[in-house]
Amino acid sequence: MKTSSIILAASLAATAVALPAGGGEPDRVVTITVPAPPTAATAAPTWNWREGAVDSYPIHSSCNGTERLQLARALDETVSLARQARDHILRFGKTSSLYSKYFGNASTAEPVGWYHKLVGGDKAGLLFRCDDIDGNCHQEGWGGHWRGENATSETVICPLSYTTRKSLEGLCGFGYTVAAGKLNTFWAGDLMHRIFHLEPVGEGVLEHYADSHAECLELAKSDPAKAARNSHTLQYFALDVYAYDIALPGEGCAGKSPSASSDGGHSTPSPIPASPPTQTSAAPTLLRAWIIGHVGNGRTKARLMLG
């Protein structure tokens, strides 16, 4: 242990020895040894489990200001779409007719997990870029592509996406229905598919087991386990839920699959179990066509009734 030696003269008040004036013994010298305070040990670093986490989807520097703004907003909408799908399942579980429509009797845990990975999973290493690094954007109809073996955690967004994709605010507008519309009509639906392709998110488990709306509904009946891992099923369910819960609450815009229009299609009843309908007297058959559109921030609705 380090020590300090302090030599104090006897003349100091604290240690002085008073002697008669004019002689006697010489002044005493008193040595006091004072232990030095222990050296503070270097504190061990506190474990921070969140250190290095990335909460937002990274956008590559190749995206210009306009592209970055659109892409960032579109990614936020994608998170909102996935969050609503997740929360709908957590709220209603298998009692939701929308859930059984797309996932049959599959466990709710897996779809909830996929949506939650998109929403809350760590985004470190993922990357959205705009530089057409693989030279694929020149191909007709290509709005973007997963880079595959070149970079399993990256996806390229081509110029076509910025001129054709619509905001989620327009869901159920423009004559769109979930069953008959394209999955890439809206940014959120398109980017959900692209994110599920990224290896850290889909883990090579999410695949294309069924593609069209009608095929996805059939998969829910024939193989619910695969339906819970089918990327297009996850997209269709999320869009259908968002339409019913948020865009047009209690109504949605499910529509009918084009291939199933001749046999009545697949309509969507309320996701909440409803009371039996009250019997009414017979009435003339009415053909009702609903035309739903968006005008600015408002919503217009017209109904045609033919006898």
pLDDT 10s per residue in the chain (307 long)?
Answer: 444 444 444 344 444 444 555 556 666 777 777 777 766 667 778 999 999 999 999 999 999 999 999 999 999 999 999 999 999 999 999 999 999 999 999 999 999 999 999 999 999 999 999 999 999 999 999 999 999 999 999 999 999 999 999 999 999 999 999 999 999 999 999 999 999 999 999 999 999 999 999 999 999 999 999 999 999 999 999 999 999 999 999 999 999 988 654 444 444 455 555 443 333 333 333 333 333 333 333 333 333 333 3
Would you kindly state where each structural domain of the chain is located, as residue ranges?
3-35, 65-261
Cα–Cα dist 259/42, whole Å? 71
Cα–Cα dist 193/141, whole Å? 16
Output the pTM of the full model. 0.74
Closest residue by Cα to residue 212 from 241, 184, 183, 190: 183
* Spatial contact of 74 and 191, defined as CB atoms under 8 Å apart: yes
CATH 3.40.50.880 fits 65-261, yes or no: no
Backbone angles phi and psi of 6, in degrees to 5: -115, 120
Q: Read off the tokens for 249.
A: 């609450």
* Spatial contact of 124 and 53, defined as CB atoms under 8 Å apart: yes
Strands 127-129, 154-157: pairing kind: parallel
β-pair partners for 303:
290
Cα–Cα dist 207/234, whole Å? 11
Closest residue by Cα to residue 232 from 176, 194, 175: 194
- Note the Cα 295 to chain centre separation in Å: 29
